[in-house]
Amino acid sequence: MLPLQANWLVIMRNVIVTGGSRGLGLGIVRRLTAEGYRAFAVARQMNDQLASTMEQAEQARPGSLHFIPFDLGNIQDIPDLVKKLRKGFGPIYGLVNNAALGLDGALAIMHNSQIERLIRVNTLSPIVLTKYVVRHMMADGGGRVVNVSSIIGFTGYSGLSVYGATKASMIGFTRSLAREVGRLGVNVNAIAPGFMETDMTQGLEGERREQVARRSALRRFPDVEDVADAVEFLLGAKAKSITGTVLTVDAGATA
């Protein structure tokens, strides 16, 4: 008979979370490990927050969190990344495409290299990563993909036209891919967060921050935990009949 710890490791479902070292990605990783998943935090570098989270996860559920150093701008290396994860840890149940660049600036003066970088990391990279992960999901009998978009993808925001374009593209990608792979047991959905309680919004000036918050029906920003809960819901059994949809978590900013 296997020890209890070994039994726990066998039943953990593998979920890849890109941009999992900070902000929303780290919040998603924490939520998933707490709910019994094995999470792979994909990011370019380790940081103190992720290191602390890994230490806590290892004490609570050994083997439930792994850091995968990888630059998602290196599109050509994505197939090998997925192959190694699948070979080393078994079937990939979930993929959360969270990593994204948030460069702002008026389109007329934005350098072409910045435009290309945004599109490469925010659109091309998650599409290619999903391609190789979904191949395994279809062969393994199913899985879940959650793409992190943004309300800016359908409301717009001055100075974020390129970023908004990349987030809108993820919504179209979600809806079409859901139809392609649904018959093979793969659910594909998107989350559209509004402005959240993160370092980015903390950087807004007091009055500007209050103005943004007052636009929402709840007169506040959603927390990172609110969005992480929504991601965990879409990965779970209660969302088995939900696919091709966009779940907005913005405290009513678009109500």
Instruction: Tell me the C-alpha distance between 183 and 178, whole Å.
Output: 9
The active-site residue out of 37, 93, 132, 163 is 163
Residue 208 burial (CB < 10 Å; 0-12/13-18/19+)?
Answer: exposed
- Cβ(100)–Cβ(166) under 8 Å? yes
163 is catalytic: yes
10 Å Cβ neighbour count for 63?
14
Would you say the C-alpha torsion 56, 239, 79, 23 has a positive or negative sign? negative
Amino acid at the residue 190 = A
Catalytic site positions: 163
